[in-house]
Structure 1
Amino acid sequence: MRAMGGMFGFSSPKVVCGVVGVGSLGQHHARIYSTMSGVEFAGIFETSDARAAEICEKFKCKRFATIAELGEACDAVSVVVPTDKHAEVAIPLLEQKCHLLIEKPICASLEEAEQVLAAAQKNGCIVQVGHIEHFNPVMSFLEKEADRPAYITTERLAPYQTRGTEVGVVLDLMIHDIGIVLALVKSPIKKIDSVGINVLSKTEDIANARIEFENGCVANLSASRMSMKKNREIRVFQDNAYLSLDFMNQKGHLVKKSDLIAYGVKMKIGLAKPGDTSSVPVKEIPIEKGEPLALELADFVSSVKEAKQPKVGGALAKSALEVAITITEQIKNAKR
């Protein structure tokens, strides 16, 4: 039975969840919902008969004939369809009072994003956006240690695949790092300079953006979906530390200015010698690994049940989209 939705809490102990679209990513939403405590997994909407049968068999769930029928049965729904279909799917579900987790980016355009957020406000619904790296344990460490970044570099590489090419690499991949940088820097943007090229797609497959903030911080973001390997790394430089972290492998290292000073003192008194790298204070970061999507969905369900704002809500998602669109427009204009 569907719980009492809206922003007023729930009479039922379980949040009824569903998924629209169970492709390469949506299948994992279904997998996690099907095993979550506090969740009743109602089922899926999927246009492919073969895929729907496979997922329903694997996770013992129901296939709904229409998105509206799924929305009627659910308190909360993951929207995991191509970006250019987000608004088309999300707005009717919001009109049905469904809370939504929409995979990133929130929409393909700012106009559509505003329509989705207006529908959410009108109907008292939560919209969380799937900027999944914000739930990566690496991000938790960054939020504690990167308190005054002066220079940031990010690199996000992936092999080419046709999925996601309805948008360019900026909206497909770089937007993850845009959201991360905006959350860390917390300053208005002063200037953006971008370059990009398309190789196999109609839109850019490789892109670089230099973002200068009002507080003086500079971020240099690179993304490619033409790589032979996957890579998701960030480096943060600030006046008291250097951090290098790997989002994919959930590891990294840290060098603190205070430790370097102590090392210098050791050298002066003969406890360390020049060239003795074993004493250089590079600390491996003790990151407790976890599945970011499972953490993200747990936060979403908690936000719905407790009627609280999610960690990655519409405001951050819209800001990241605005920056991403500015970058893509600069790339298009340069080609013209």
Structure 2
Amino acid sequence: MSTAPRVAVVGAGNMGANHARVIAASPRAQLAVVVDVDADRADAVAGPLGGRGSSDLAAAADCDAVIVAATTEAHLDIALPLLEGGVSCLVEKPLADDLTAVDQLIAASEASGAALMCGFVERFNPAVVGARSLLHGAPVHLLGIRHSPHNPRTRSSVIDDLLIHDIDLALDLLGGSVVSVSGGHWVSPDGVEELADCTMVFDHGAVATLSSSRVSQRKVRSLSLSSADLLVEIDLLRHDLTTYHHRSGEVVDRDGPIYRAETVVEIPFVRHTGEPLAVQFEHFVDLVDGSASRDAERSTLRAPHAAVARIKEALR
């Protein structure tokens, strides 16, 4: 693509506004339009960034690429005709509210050749990128904690809102296929699934233990990866890493037996290449202009959504 792609954002909520900001700041793209059912809200987001607001979805179809940041229930109706028309789409997670709809979007992308990407922004967290290079051998366990204080305005399942990020990271970092899932959840008196924990066992024996909550008193975003000789702790909020390597343990006789252990603790350098949302967008532009493989990206989409479907089924 010889000129910067014209990009639309559908959905002018908090996430849509952040996407619009990132597009406007990129030298590789143009913010063309923000579309929302509330035209005034669309104008309020787009205007200060040099774009225009609209309540007409057809305005997005005229662009080279679209970011879909509307409610999950609307993703299929918005993204499917765009993909069928050959318009590349970055759809916020989850791609859709059930696996059948996810498959429809993937199939439409394959048929038209349009790029399809899901907003798994933690893939672009610099601490996650750094951790991949530190692992010695295959990890045997991943512990993920993603907790937030309660937000009464959020009505979606905590699985779709929070847990899906760590499901995606577990599949990426542990590799292999999930052979079994189990877990538990808590549903608030007004019917909102606010807490969900799960365990996923992989075909090579590794285990992922994941906890998501919107009833915590503090915000936590952490991963711990354990292999036979290394523990890697990832702080996803601070974008930093700490590694632990237990080297020896012995009993020494110093006025009575004393057990002495040696553990090497290191804080590796993390290369920060920018805000993860902005790095994610740059990868989307790579997909749009053909410098990154659309097939490779598409191949990463179904597995995390299939795992979500299995976990939801297990918790029924």
The verdict on a shared fold, with TM-score over 0.5 as the criterion, is yes
Residue 64 of structure 1 corresponds to 54
Question: Where do 1:210-221 residues align within 5 Å?
Answer: 210-221=199-210
1:245 lines up with 2:234 in the alignment: yes
Question: Where do 1:1-336 residues align within 5 Å?
Answer: 10=1, 12-72=2-62, 74-146=63-135, 147-165=137-155, 167-199=156-188, 201-256=190-245, 260=247, 280-289=263-272, 290-309=274-293, 313-332=297-316
Asked if structure 1 preserves the Cα contact closer than 8 Å seen for 2:12 and 2:42, the reply is yes
Specify the code of the residue in structure 2 equivalent to 1:128. M
Task: Name the CA shift for 1:310/1:295 in 2 (closer, same or farther; >3 Å).
Answer: farther
Asked if structure 1 preserves the Cα contact closer than 8 Å seen for 2:182 and 2:315, the reply is no
Q: Give secondary structure in 2 for the equivalent of 1:53.
A: helix
Measured after TM superposition, the shift of residue 112 of structure 1 is 0.3
CA distance in 2 between partners of 1:116 and 1:201 (Å): 32
Task: Provide Cα deviations, 1:243-264, integer angstroms capped at 9, x if missing partner.
Answer: 111101111210235xx25xx7
Task: Name the CA shift for 1:311/1:293 in 2 (closer, same or farther; >3 Å).
Answer: farther
Superposition misfits of 4+ residues, deviation over 4 angstroms: 274-277
Where does structure 2 lack aligned partners over 5 or more consecutive residues? 253-257
Identity across the alignment (%): 25
CA distance in 1 between partners of 2:67 and 2:214 (Å): 25
What TM-score, normalized to structure 1? 0.86
CA distance in 1 between partners of 2:118 and 2:154 (Å): 17
CA distance in 2 between partners of 1:164 and 1:325 (Å): 20
CA distance in 1 between partners of 2:52 and 2:159 (Å): 35
CA distance in 2 between partners of 1:83 and 1:237 (Å): 34
Residue 255 of structure 2 corresponds to none
Residue 3 of structure 1 corresponds to none
Specify the code of the residue in structure 2 equivalent to 1:44. V
Task: Provide Cα deviations, 1:257-284, integer angstroms capped at 9, x if missing partner.
Answer: 5xx25xx79x99xxxxx8999x852001
Q: Give secondary structure in 2 for the equivalent of 1:19.
A: strand
Q: Give secondary structure in 2 for the equivalent of 1:240.
A: coil
Asked if structure 2 preserves the Cα contact closer than 8 Å seen for 1:179 and 1:317, the reply is no
Asked if structure 1 preserves the Cα contact closer than 8 Å seen for 2:197 and 2:210, the reply is yes
CA distance in 1 between partners of 2:189 and 2:126 (Å): 34
Specify the code of the residue in structure 2 equivalent to 1:86. H
CA distance in 2 between partners of 1:222 and 1:76 (Å): 34
CA distance in 1 between partners of 2:167 and 2:190 (Å): 22
Q: Give secondary structure in 2 for the equivalent of 1:108.
A: coil
What TM-score, normalized to structure 2? 0.91
Please state which structure has a larger fraction of its residues in helix: 1
Task: Name the CA shift for 1:203/1:298 in 2 (closer, same or farther; >3 Å).
Answer: same
Q: CA RMSD in A?
A: 2.3
Specify the code of the residue in structure 2 equivalent to 1:218. V
Asked if structure 1 preserves the Cα contact closer than 8 Å seen for 2:245 and 2:263, the reply is no
CA distance in 1 between partners of 2:294 and 2:265 (Å): 35
Asked if structure 2 preserves the Cα contact closer than 8 Å seen for 1:68 and 1:92, the reply is no
Please state which structure has a larger fraction of its residues in strand: 2
CA distance in 2 between partners of 1:173 and 1:312 (Å): 24
Task: Name the CA shift for 1:221/1:77 in 2 (closer, same or farther; >3 Å).
Answer: same
Specify the code of the residue in structure 2 equivalent to 1:137. P
CA distance in 2 between partners of 1:224 and 1:139 (Å): 21
Asked if structure 2 preserves the Cα contact closer than 8 Å seen for 1:178 and 1:324, the reply is yes
